Structure 1
């Protein structure tokens, strides 16, 4: 059935529910499980704030990447606790939905399991959720939990 399952993981309750369902499917299918945490590059507005607060760290991307690594590691630990042998976790920066779908294609994932609501922003409310965008862009099946 499925050989390689991708779980986009942002640490939200929706992502945890998706991870639990993906772990269940992976155990049933004998599939490998991969987690992906995507962080968005900071905006020009956020960058301009450093001109006002020079004592803050200079590179917001480094801060976001570090946080994303912590989130990914937490997801990997949850997957391992649920009985998945050697779950892999990756961190990427970029536009979230496109990064997820391109990662799945590049790594040969044949199923993406994603939470219906994550840690989205106001942009997500106005322009549509990441899960909706992933279902639209993906070339492989997507299970929205």
Structure 2
């Protein structure tokens, strides 16, 4: 059913909850999960200035998705991790629309209407603009 699932992960508890749903759906059809982490340009400057080296910076970014990786390993799910750079919402949309996916799964922070209007939300941007079906997990 879903052979190529893109899981947007940011290291949060919301992303881990979304990963559990991704696992359940991947098991239904022997699907592969592509974990996508976006290094946000707004935070990247600080990270680059405080990192010891490029390798240390990539290691720190990879560690943010480590709990998701551990879950996928424990559940024997085929997966791949992609670290992208940019603004999370548009970067995820562009990547998925270019690469294609059967399903995109993303966690939601559960912003109220005012917070979402002022701050915007990555999940809202993805749902609105990506061509694939999207599952938002709260």
TM normalised by structure 1 equals 0.76
Deviates most, 100-109 or 130-139: 100-109
Counterparts of 1:1-145 in structure 2, within 5 Å, are 1-42=1-42, 56-57=50-51, 65-84=58-77, 86-117=78-109, 126-145=118-137
Corresponding residue SS for 1:7: strand
Q: Give unpaired runs (5+ residues) of structure 1.
A: 51-55
Query: What does residue 53 of structure 1 align with?
Result: none
Cα-to-partner distance string for 1:75-110 (whole Å, 9 max, x where unaligned): 2222111231x3111111101011111221232212
Corresponding residue SS for 2:10: coil
How far apart in 2 are the matches of 1:25 and 1:32?
10
Corresponding residue SS for 1:140: coil
CA RMSD for the aligned pairs? 2.9
Q: Please identify the structure whose Cα radius of gyration is greater.
A: 1
Q: Give unpaired runs (5+ residues) of structure 2.
A: none
How far apart in 2 are the matches of 1:16 and 1:77?
10
Matched pairs, number: 132
